[in-house]
Every structure is written in structure tokens, then in C-alpha cells.
Amino acid sequence: MTDAVDPFEAIKVVFFQECDELLGDLETGLLAIQSGSADDETIHAVFRAVHSVKGGAGAFGLDDLVRFAHVFETLLDELRAGRRPCDEPTLNALLRAADVLADHVAAARGQGAPVEPARSAGLVAELEALTHGDVAPVAETVVETVAPLPVEADEFGFKPIAFDLSSLDAPAVAEPSGGWRIVLHPHAQMYAKANETGLLLRELARLGPVAVSLDTSALPDLAEMSPEDAYLSWTIELTGPVDEAAVREVFDFVEADCDLSVRPLDSVATPLPVAQTTPDLDIAALLARATADVPAQPEPAPVVAIPFPTPAPEPVPVAARVQATPTPAATPAPAQAPAAAPTPPAAVTIRVDLERVDRLINVVGELVIQQAMLAQRVTESGLARSSGISVGLEDLELLTREIQDSVMAIRAQPVKSVFQRMPRLVREVGEMTGKRVRLVTAGEDTEVDKTVVERLAEPITHMLRNAIDHGLESPDDRVAAGKPAEGTVKLVALHRSGRIVIEISDDGRGINRERVKGIAAAKGLIADDADLSDEEIDNLIFLPGFSTAETISDVSGRGVGMDVVKRSIQALGGRISIASNPGKGSTFTLSLPLTLAVLDGMVVAAAEQTLVAPLTAIVESLTPRVQDVHHVGGHDAVIRFRDEFVPLIDVALNMGFRDTPVPPSTGVAVVIETEAGFRAALLFDAIQGQRQVVIKSLETNYQQVEGVAAATILGDGRVALILDVDAIVATARRKTTRPELKLAS
């Protein structure tokens, strides 16, 4: 089906996928620089990311994106060349620029509104100001003018000593000079990306008369020569009134992969001692020395004397094509070129349509059920013990499990994709609230099912906002409290006992328990004189209708509180808890299942029906003793659980499977805790066991049913309903006319 897609569109899709990765690299790099953990390579990686985005965008004619990326890139170039200090204002501007660049990409992709021109232009101005040193202390005489394509330096840091780039800025660009001396030294990657020097030379020749000479001084003996390396450099003298920008444009797509210097012809100082040898002779000499079986030098380009366009001898590395490991991409699509950056031991991955994976998972889910059914039937028929069938069945079970695990692993994704979005959020919230925040993340590579990853973003976003807005103090308060002015928020992911745990901690003021208690009492959530433990008070913030923000701020007070976070986490089968240390900070811990496709449940029986109760909701189970069950009013029973009376709900009665109540002592009571934190005991006839079940939606073919979260298929092939304990408790409470239970009863 993908065949039908327009190839250009397909490439574009790949480009945007790569953009995501590049933007991630960009952000990671900038943050590394900010945290001081960057090395020399980091700034280059950052530059490359922006450059690659620009390059691809150019190929697709995404002009807004190209323009912005260009300004961005120009500043980065100044930084990596060391001409600008990478101080904090610069870094902040860069981070904001990364955000805007991401918005530009999203806009170009059709996801999200076009970037407000004012916002983009504002940053462009800021970046340009930084580029031109308006704020930089280094008083260099930079006379760059903002031409449509401002000057770029092209040294890529591989050979920092190669030439003095700062001199590049010295000649004024505005006035057209008599010509240019262009020194081009391609790197091996340039060829690996299927660029050819010959084509570049031909392009240059279009601008004016050129004289090209080849420098082979770096050429080693054939025996030492690597067929994939690039040894040659060219000096091109371009005469005529040509704009420097026009010259540089020729090298736009290769500048990252070569050393390039463009200087006016009359300039005396030539930083690169270009050996004006006669390459024909050199090559002839080399060849004479060469033994026949040694691979030929990949770039056997002789001196090209003008006039062009005589067919430029194309330095196609033929030998390299055959032997090269980083296969030069044959596609001329420039969009692919930047991303094809050589990563020699590249991880072998394929992109697969998610739908196909989902189909596979569904089928495997059915295989698991079918296998369980088969096993049960064989056991029932009494065949199992009497033959080799039981051995075969066991093997089948193991294999089925393995297949299921492997398939689930396909969908597993690192939480990185969510974590990567957070630095931006932290930055924005920090700016909005006037707080200084440093985000520390760990465990980005922790894997979890894709569906879970997707649904993690919202709760994490909300909790980070809360941590900054409510948790952290203002810089002044922090200093007064003897803490560093900059607050730290940690976001950590880890695997723990088959679940993923996400911790969000801040080093702020912690929960003000007196205030929380006061608010809860004022809002009628707890009795005024309730005696609560610290933990209970902390957990009050999860109650619906509780919000400690005195003023509804733009940041976290959007009419939703922690109760919403808790609900969305519990909807995922997760739990949330809080630990707070006054004056030292708070830690929120989320624990989530690794997948949404299966659920740990307790299989129970009620009036001949088999039901599944989600294990996450269950606190404990007990056999009700007659003396512990009391009746309040007519039918409403409560059961004494520890020192608490909790409502006892006969599930079979509640769900209409039975008309008359049975004595509670004949059944089993399962104490559950609802999302709102209320406890209740559900009465079943018996507990059959605990198992993992595959979740099947009822809504696919029918509709939502009150009291039922979903369905599953048990080993006997029958459908069993998964209970929505909250809804059951809610309906039970609706039936009674009792006033709302207070938490502290």
C-alpha cells in the first residue's frame, strides 16, 4: 500500500521523521552545553542538526523553515568557530530558537499552527544581533552585512588548524570583488553522500571563468591509501564580479562535509599552502609505482583547465563504491544526504507501519487465548496425562509466551520521546513564573509500550508544571532559605517489578501541610477536626476539587488539579503517590503497567458469572465475619475493615446478576480503593485466582456499559467482564441517599 504513495511525499515523510530526531539531538546538545557536560563535538552536532534541517527543508521548498534555520545556523557557526562566547544569554536564545525551529517544522508538517511571524522575527533579530556581536564583548571588526544569504564559515572542526577562519570575516562582502580564490578540500563523507566535486566545479564555472588546480600533496602512497578517504583538494580561481554569497551557495549542501575557503583573488595571504604541483605528473608517477591489484585512487581528477564546460572529470570514487561500507546513497535527494551522516556501526532498524504491528499483536493475543483453551480442553478430556500431548502442550505454551513477549517488545519504546519535550516546557514555565529551573532527566531509555508512552506526556507535563509552579520557590526565597537560586526538578524513569516507575521530584518547599489541611477543611473535603497523618494530608491534594493555588495561574491552574492527573494515571492502570519533605521538596511517583494490552486482574465469581477485578484497585481481600457486617438503614451494609467502616457492595446484586442478596459471610469481600481515594468492599462469591488478561474493548462492537471497564476472554473461551470498580461504587452510592462519605470518617 505504501507503493501507491507519491515518492516525493514518501521522502518528505522520512524528512520529517528525521527532523524529529534532529530536533531531539539539537535540544539534547544545547542542554548538554548548558549543563557544562558538552565536549568539543557537541556544538558541531548542534550545528549539524540545524544544518540538516535546513538542507532538507530547502529541498522541499519550505522557505519559512529554511530562513529561520539559516539565521539559527549562522549564529551556531559563529559559536563553533569560537568567535562568539557561548554565554548564558546566547544559550537561552539558542534554546528558544530551538523551540521556534521545532514549531516551524511542525507548521511545515501541517501539525500545528504556523509560527507567529512576530515570534519568529523577534528571535531572528535576536539571533542576528548575537551573530553580529551586538552584545558580545569581543570587539571584533565584523563588517558582515545581512545579505540574503549571510556569510557562513564552512570549516567543520575536523582540522581546526587548517585555516584561520576569522579572517573570513574581514573582507567586506558587499562590494563585488574582482574574483575569488576558492579552496575546496572535500571530506570522505562528502563523497559518501553522493556529492561530486566535478559537479561543484561545473556549477562554479557557470558563475564566471574559472581556473582550477588540483592539490595532491596529501595523497599518500598507494599502499597506505584508503580507497574511501578523500585526499585531494582543489583551488579554484573564479574571476569576474561575482557575489560571495553566490559562490557559497554552490557549496550549500556540501559545506558541512568539506573544508572550504572563499577569499578575494587579490588577497595576498593564502592560509592554506596550496601546492601548485602538476597533478597529472603526480598521478602518472603514482600509477607507475602502483601495482596492478591495488585499488585505484578514488579521485583521479587531473587538472582541469578552463574553458568550461568541458566535461568535468568526475571524481566518482569507483573503487569506493564497490568497497565502501557506508554505501554512497545513489539517490540524489538532498533531503536524505544530511541524515546519511556516517554512523558506521549503524543499528539495523526498519520502519514498520504501526497498523501492521497492531494486527500482529491482536493475532498473537488470540493465539494465546486459543492455546489456553486448547490446553484446558485437553486436560478436561483426560488426554494430557496419557500421552505425549502434555509435553507438546507445554512446549506450545512456552513458545506462545515467547511470541507474545517478542511482539510486545516490538511496540516497546523508550520514554525518551516524551522526556525530550519536557526541557522546553520547563523553560517556558520557568520563564512564566519567574523561577530558575534546571531539569535533570534520567532513564530516558526505559522502554514501555507505545500506547503508554503516548499517554504519559500529559500527566508528566502537568506534574512538572505543578512542581515548578507550586513546588519551587522564587529565586529570592530560595537564596533566603540557603538553597541555590536555581531550583532542580528531576524526572526519572525506571523499571520496577514489571512496571514502569516515573519519579518527578523537586527541591522546593515541599507540601505546606497546615495550608493543605486548612484548604481541605474549608472546602468541606475533610472534617474540621480530622486527625490526619502527614501522608494522609499529602494525599489530600489528589482529591477532586482541591487546588492549592490561591490565584488561578496560567501555568498550572487551568481548572484542573492533581485529581485529574491521578484519574488519568489510574485510567492507565497506574498509581500515583507523593512523598514530601517540608523545606526540602516533594517527590511524585507514578507506577504504570508496561502495556495497556494486558491487565493484571483477580478473577472472581459472582452469581455464576466470572468477572475480573483490576489488581491495581485492590487493597486486600477478606472473608467477612458476621459480626463485622452491619446494616445502615435498610439494605446498605457496611463492613468493618481495620478501624474503618466501608460500604459493602454485593456485586452480583449491583450488576443485576441476582435479585436477592446472599449472606455476606458466604462470600469473599475484596477491599478496593477508588480513584477518588474512597474505599469500599466488593462482595463476590469466590476468588478463582489471579492472572494476566488481554483487554478487549466493548465499545468496538457495542458501547460502554456502566460498571464494566472492558472485556477479556478467559481460558475456556468465554468472555469475562473486567469491572470498573469506580463505577460500581458510584452506582452503589447513588442508590443510597447517604450523604457523601467524608474521607476521615
By CB under 8 A, name the binding residues for other proteins: 362, 365-366, 369, 609-610, 654-657, 696-698, 700-703, 705-708, 711, 713, 717-721
Single-letter amino acid, residue 537: I
- In the chain, what is the greatest distance between 2 CA atoms, to the nearest angstrom? 110
Nearer to other proteins, 168 or 655 (CB): 655
Angle, CA of 37, 40 and 41, to the nearest 5°: 95
Nearer to other proteins, 307 or 656 (CB): 656
Closest separation in Å from C-beta 696 to other proteins: 5
Closest separation in Å from C-beta 711 to other proteins: 5
User: 31: helix, coil or strand?
Assistant: helix
Nearer to other proteins, 371 or 580 (CB): 371
- Judge if the upstream peptide bond of residue 220 is cis by omega within 30 degrees of 0: no
Measure the CA–CA gap between 405 and 403, rounded to whole angstroms: 5
What residue has cell string 476472554? 713
Single-letter amino acid, residue 171: P
Closest separation in Å from C-beta 639 to other proteins: 22
Nearer to other proteins, 379 or 609 (CB): 609
Identify which of 435, 444, 443 has the alpha carbon closest to the alpha carbon of residue 486. 435
Closest separation in Å from C-beta 361 to other proteins: 11
- Distant-in-sequence, close-in-space partners of 684: CB < 8 Å, separation ≥ 6: 604, 605, 606, 611, 651, 652, 667, 668, 669, 670
Closest separation in Å from C-beta 701 to other proteins: 5
C-alpha cell at 365: 493475543
Nearer to other proteins, 445 or 716 (CB): 716
Classify residue 301 by burial, with Cβ atoms within 10 Å: 0-12, 13-18, 19+. Answer: buried
Nearer to other proteins, 37 or 700 (CB): 700
Phi and psi angles of residue 178, each rounded to the nearest 5 degrees, phi first: -75, -15
Nearer to other proteins, 31 or 612 (CB): 612
Closest separation in Å from C-beta 393 to other proteins: 20
Closest separation in Å from C-beta 678 to other proteins: 21
Nearer to other proteins, 241 or 717 (CB): 717
Nearer to other proteins, 546 or 657 (CB): 657
Closest separation in Å from C-beta 667 to other proteins: 18
Measure the CA–CA gap between 679 and 645, rounded to whole angstroms: 9
Closest separation in Å from C-beta 732 to other proteins: 13
Measure the CA–CA gap between 77 and 92, rounded to whole angstroms: 16
What pairing do the DSSP bridges indicate for beta strands 668-673 and 618-622? antiparallel
Closest separation in Å from C-beta 715 to other proteins: 11
Identify which of 126, 77, 71, 123 has the alpha carbon closest to the alpha carbon of residue 100. 123
- Judge if the upstream peptide bond of residue 739 is cis by omega within 30 degrees of 0: no
Nearer to other proteins, 533 or 700 (CB): 700
C-alpha cell at 540: 489530600
Closest separation in Å from C-beta 465 to other proteins: 38
Measure the CA–CA gap between 73 and 156, rounded to whole angstroms: 13
Measure the CA–CA gap between 84 and 622, rounded to whole angstroms: 70
Closest separation in Å from C-beta 256 to other proteins: 50
Nearer to other proteins, 357 or 698 (CB): 698
- Distant-in-sequence, close-in-space partners of 263: CB < 8 Å, separation ≥ 6: 167, 168, 171, 180, 181, 270
Measure the CA–CA gap between 154 and 250, rounded to whole angstroms: 12
**Upper half-sphere CA count for residue 11 (Cβ side, 13 Å):** 14
**Are 615 and 598 in contact, with CB atoms under 8 Å apart?**
no
Nearer to other proteins, 479 or 719 (CB): 719
